[in-house]
């Protein structure tokens, strides 16, 4: 029995190790998606089907948690894994055996709900920036760039150090007392069908289960535990000398290894199903990969002059981001990247959501993206710089609307300015299409290449009809098939739908998505 149970714990740590390196940002994505849901609800623009593709991680985790409890916390979360490793180090190497007072422990466990409420009220509702750059999660996620973390995420780094010290003395310190995502999961997991049975009448007085509980639960008092504070690490099943503790699903005792396998399969299955469904919805045009529904008619719009304007901002690690902003009928209609020196993973995470939120609200007063704060700020700053030019030229542009209505999106910043200020005497590129999200291309079929996952080359053909992108087909690809097939229809359909290559990547297949977008851009440069 001991060997079997020990193997189960080894499997848990192996899964934690794998996900720690493959999906270290899973918990950040899940929490940021919960934030997205909340903000869309209070903004009155939440439509689940449209929002669904941008909520994969949270939806998958919440469904799995509602069904089987907090296996996400005990098996999948990278920050939980970090806490486990720190405590294992302190216990086995430094021989620390600190036990927190039971009453203090029970009180401190409510702190995570306070943290969650503070974030919801102060950061998400009032939209205060007081907690910007204080997230230990962000510091943890970017710790490989130590100098940057020390310089720009100082408070977050200090909190990370304090959490690490706490984990030396109290197992799962962050998970017990501070984790806002854990607070959400603690609530919803109470309806799960999985529980741990431990009949008191068959217990001795050893209290070994309680002594080994990762979350410090008084298991010796309980006949069973279902969700709540329990993270389903299953250690209590491992140590019980009487074999009195059992995993149970719908009142049927099951092998602990089967319980963990069911949980892993459920999470993987829900995630895969969600991803497949999101691809279908996005490809069919029923869903938006960002989940933001534009309703600019309800927003107050500043007085901008029609045209295309460029601006620059400073993003992650001082990188320069250059953005073009298109104004039509006095409103922001399109935001496109001209160039950026930002870290690609952070920039791609921020650009789609930030640009669409600005267009939706017709304002640059939008929240940054958790985990990509500086990239978000660079985009916002660049848009503001462009809008300053648009605001300054509003009177000239409005006086020449008719001659400027045919400004092409491909104009450079210089030609856009000349067109706006001198359109009464010059009509530069006057035969091009209106300044909206649709560029005008020469009819024909063009080929382009891009670099996808692991440097694989993707070659596409792009067909232009009546000046618009009408079809995108794969000629050849060296990309990993499962990643490429996952994104091919979604990305190409979105590009055709928006007539733009500035679309969001598909979560879990970022590089394959970028390869397709780069290939389409390359083809369109010839058109």
Averages of pLDDT over runs of 10 residues in the chain (527 residues) are 61 91 81 86 80 81 92 93 94 90 94 96 85 82 79 89 95 96 96 92 88 92 93 90 89 82 79 64 58 41 79 84 88 89 85 87 79 84 88 50 38 36 33 42 90 83 90 90 78 86 71 88 90
Boundary-marking domain end, from 393, 422, 439: 439
pLDDT value of position 5: 47
- What ranges make up the beta strands (E) of 341-467? 444-451, 457-465
Number of domains in the chain: 3
What pLDDT is stored for residue 43 in this prediction?
77
* pTM for this prediction: 0.60
pLDDT at 2: 42
pLDDT at residue 375 in the model: 87
| Residue 40: predicted pLDDT | 84
Q: What CATH number does residue 431 fall under? A: 3.90.1010.20
Q: Which domain holds residue 366?
A: 294-439
> What is the rounded CA–CA span in Å between residue 113 and residue 108?
10
Domain boundary among 418, 439, 460: 439
Confirm if 348 and 510 have CB atoms less than 8 A apart. yes
Q: How far apart are CA 488 and CA 512, in angstroms?
A: 8
* pLDDT at residue 243, rounded to an integer: 87
Task: Based on the fold, state whether residues 389 and 477 are members of the same structural domain.
Answer: no
Structural domain includes residue 144: no
Same domain, yes or no: 104 and 43: yes
**Are 432 and 461 part of one and the same domain?**
no
431 and 401 assigned to the same domain: yes
Whether residue 309 sits in one domain with residue 249: no
228 within domain boundaries: yes
Report the pLDDT value the prediction gives residue 108, as an integer from 0 to 100: 96
Contact partners, residue 412, CB within 8 Å, separation at least 6: none
Asked if residue 350 lies in contact with residue 267, where contact means CB atoms within 8 angstroms, the answer is no
| Residue 282: predicted pLDDT | 56
Residue 144: what pLDDT?
A: 73
Q: Which residues of 396-416 are buried (b: 16+ CB within 10 A; e: fewer)?
A: bbeebeebbbbbbbebebeeb
Asked which of 384, 415, 439 is the last residue of a domain, the reply is 439
For residue 285, the model assigns a pLDDT of 60
pLDDT score of 107: 96
Residues in the chain: 527
């Amino acid at each position: 029995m001991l060997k079997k149970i020990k193997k189960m714990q080894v499997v848990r740590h192996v899964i934690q190790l794998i996900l720690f390196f493959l999906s270290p940002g899973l918990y950040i994505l899940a929490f940021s998606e919960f934030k997205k849901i909340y903000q869309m609800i209070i903004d009155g623009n939440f439509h689940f089907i449209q929002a669904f593709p941008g909520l994969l991680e949270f939806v998958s985790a919440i469904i799995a948690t509602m069904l089987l409890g907090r296996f996400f916390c005990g098996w999948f979360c990278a920050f939980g894994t970090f806490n486990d490793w720190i405590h294992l180090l302190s216990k086995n190497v430094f021989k620390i055996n600190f036990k927190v007072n039971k009453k203090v422990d029970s009180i401190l466990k409510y702190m995570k709900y306070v943290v969650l409420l503070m974030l919801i009220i102060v950061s998400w509702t009032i939209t205060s920036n007081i907690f910007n750059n204080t997230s230990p999660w962000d510091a943890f996620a970017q710790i490989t760039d130590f100098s940057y973390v020390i310089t720009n995420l100082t408070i977050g780094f200090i909190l990370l150090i304090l959490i690490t010290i706490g984990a030396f003395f109290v197992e799962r310190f962050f998970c017990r007392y501070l984790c806002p995502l854990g607070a959400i999961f603690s609530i919803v997991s109470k309806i799960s069908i999985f529980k741990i049975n431990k009949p008191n009448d068959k217990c001795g007085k050893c209290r070994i289960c309680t002594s080994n509980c990762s979350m410090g639960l008084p298991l010796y008092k309980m006949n069973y535990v279902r969700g709540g504070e329990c993270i389903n690490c299953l250690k209590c099943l491992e140590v019980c000398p009487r074999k009195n503790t059992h995993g149970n699903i719908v009142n049927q005792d099951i092998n602990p290894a089967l319980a963990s396998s069911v949980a892993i399969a459920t999470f993987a299955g829900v995630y895969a199903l969600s991803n497949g469904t999101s691809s279908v919805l996005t490809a069919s045009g029923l869903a938006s990969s960002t989940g933001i529904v534009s309703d600019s008619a309800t927003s107050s719009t500043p007085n901008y002059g029609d045209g295309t304007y460029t601006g620059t901002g400073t993003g992650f690690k001082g990188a320069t981001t250059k953005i073009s902003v298109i104004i039509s009928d006095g409103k922001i209609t399109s935001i496109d990247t001209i160039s950026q020196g930002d870290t690609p993973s952070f920039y791609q995470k921020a650009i789609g959501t930030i640009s669409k939120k600005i267009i939706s609200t017709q304002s640059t007063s939008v929240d940054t993206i958790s985990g990509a704060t500086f990239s978000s700020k660079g985009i916002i700053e660049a848009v503001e710089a462009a809008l300053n030019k648009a605001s300054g030229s509003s009177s000239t542009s409005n006086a020449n609307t008719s001659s400027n209505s045919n400004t092409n999106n491909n104009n450079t910043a210089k030609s856009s300015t000349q067109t706006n200020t001198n359109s009464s005497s010059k009509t530069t590129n006057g035969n091009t299409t209106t300044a909206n999200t649709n560029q005008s291309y020469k009819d024909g079929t063009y080929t382009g290449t891009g670099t996808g996952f692991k440097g694989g080359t993707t070659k596409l053909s792009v067909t232009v009809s009546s000046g618009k992108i009408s079809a995108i087909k794969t000629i050849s690809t060296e990309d990993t098939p499962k990643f490429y097939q996952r994104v091919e229809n979604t990305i190409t359909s979105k590009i055709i739908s928006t007539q733009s290559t500035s679309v969001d990547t598909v979560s879990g297949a970022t590089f394959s998505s970028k390869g397709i977008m780069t290939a389409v851009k390359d083809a369109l440069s010839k058109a």
